Chain A
Amino acid sequence: MTTLAFTLAVAAMSFGAGLLGALTGLGGGVVLVPMLTLLFQVDIRYAIGASLVSVIATSSGAAAAYVEEGYTNIRIGIFLEVATTIGAVAGGIVATWMSTPVIAVLFGVMLIVSAWFTRHPRDPWLIPTRSSPLALRLGLEGTQPGPNGPRPYFVRGVPAGFALMMLAGLLSSLLGIGSGAVKVLALDRMMQLPFKVSTTTSNFMIGVTAATGAGVYLSRGYIDPALAMPVMLGVLAGSMLGARLLLRVRAPLLRKVFAVVILLLAIEMIAKGLGGLHDPT
């Protein structure tokens, strides 16, 4: 197909990915890489590079809105960004070693695991009654907006959160995703933050993590401007529309649909990866 046709088709599909990602809150990157590799036969490294770029764009836009709401805990974000950026750099190095079929299989596994975790929310009554000494020393406590003024919350599980954040960074660079799910997992379950604080702070960190990964990919030539262009613009437009429609669409039904789509994509990615392992080109 011609470059023009290819560009328009990619932009259209990216728009869909961004829209779906924004409506379900699960991120477009997760759908983007399989879509590009399975549907358009794009080499997975190119797809990951383009996806990372779009992740920076969408998360920065969302972070802008969240910061003004007042739930984002900037200290936790900055502190844990040490972990995510280290992980992201490591992920970039690992990506050099790994063969693309293995990356494809890993991607499929990641999809399944994240589909599993989104179905099992944390017990709402597991709220810490005080912060851990380390959290106190690092000044990680914060407040969230409440009807009667700011309500403080407590923070625990800092080492575990830090470790999981390194993994989040690693996965982000390796698979071209935002790793928002892993980040929320770390903040929500390990550090036991209020959910809205977890989601907004996670979003705050995604951009920096993806930028680190993108930097590595850019310098390795994994980012093709001709591909990144329609992907970035398409996802951006789609997610902006999705954010607007968010209030009008029923989220639970969408998430179920998304979970099915994710599972199908996971199977395809793993199949493609396993097929590639037997027949390396």
Chain B
Amino acid sequence: MTRPDPTVPVGRWSQGRVQHVIATMLRAGVFLSAGVVAIGGIVYLLGHGGDVADYRRFHGEPERLRHLAGVLADLREGHARGIIQLGLLLLIATPVMRVAFTAWLFVRQRDRLYVAITLLVLAILALSLLAPDWETGLAAHLRG
């Protein structure tokens, strides 16, 4: 049994259109995030351009910037690093959106196996992005 490529015509969506949507989604995500990062970068340099830079010591990012809620809070206060971090989150979201769209394509084709597979990928992605502490807990647990 062969399955059609998800980009083959389904309903009013031609193969070209599907490919175009995916491509546009990816490009828009990259440029939007780059724009936000650039704005944040300019604000950051305006405020901190004269500071001395030292990246030798790893001291971890402030707790607030590690999670979405913290980043949004930082943003409200107009901190440049928060703006940049938001841009980075948008960038990470771009491939995620692409996978979600692919899931929808498989739903259209009623391909249950691949809907399941795609949702699995999304679940793993969500796990890494939204629930980071379980991994540290797991790592600590495995170490004994």
Contacts and interface: CB of A to CB of B under 8 A. Distances in A.
Interface in A1-40: 1-7, 40
Nearest to B106: A78
Contacts of A143: 5
Interface residues of A, number: 71
Interface in A229-262: 229-230, 232-233, 236
Interface in B1-43: 1-3, 5-7, 15-16, 19-20, 22-24, 26-27, 29-30, 33-34, 37-38, 40-41
B124 A211 contact: no
Contacts of A6: 53
Interface in A189-205: none
A273 interface: no
A216 interface: yes
Interface in B114-142: 114, 117-118, 120-121, 124-125, 127-129, 132-133, 135-136, 138-139
B26 A64 contact: yes
B125 to A, nearest CB: 6
A233 B37 contact: yes
Nearest to A81: B121
Nearest to B52: A2
A41, A53, A225 pick with most chain B CB within 10 angstroms: A225
Given A61-B27, A86-B124, A233 B132 contact: no
Contacts of A45: 58
Main secondary structure of the interface of B (DSSP, over half): helix
A82 B117 contact: yes
A180 interface: no
Contacts, number: 229
A216 B124 contact: no
Given A2-B53, A68-B23, A136-B1, A89 B128 contact: yes
Nearest to A209: B95
Contact of A207 (B55, B98, B127, B133): B98
A191 B15 CA distance: 25
A60 interface: yes
Contacts of B138: 93
Given A57-B91, A215-B125, 10 more contacts: A1-B53, A53-B88, A57-B30, A70-B15, A75-B114, A78-B99, A97-B143, A142-B5, A211-B96, A221-B60
29 contacts: A3-B48, A57-B34, A60-B98, A61-B26, A65-B23, A73-B5, A75-B6, A81-B99, A82-B121, A82-B124, A85-B121, A85-B125, A86-B124, A89-B128, A136-B2, A143-B5, A215-B129, A220-B132, A220-B136, A221-B61, A222-B58, A222-B60, A223-B88, A225-B81, A225-B82, A229-B38, A230-B41, A233-B38, A236-B30
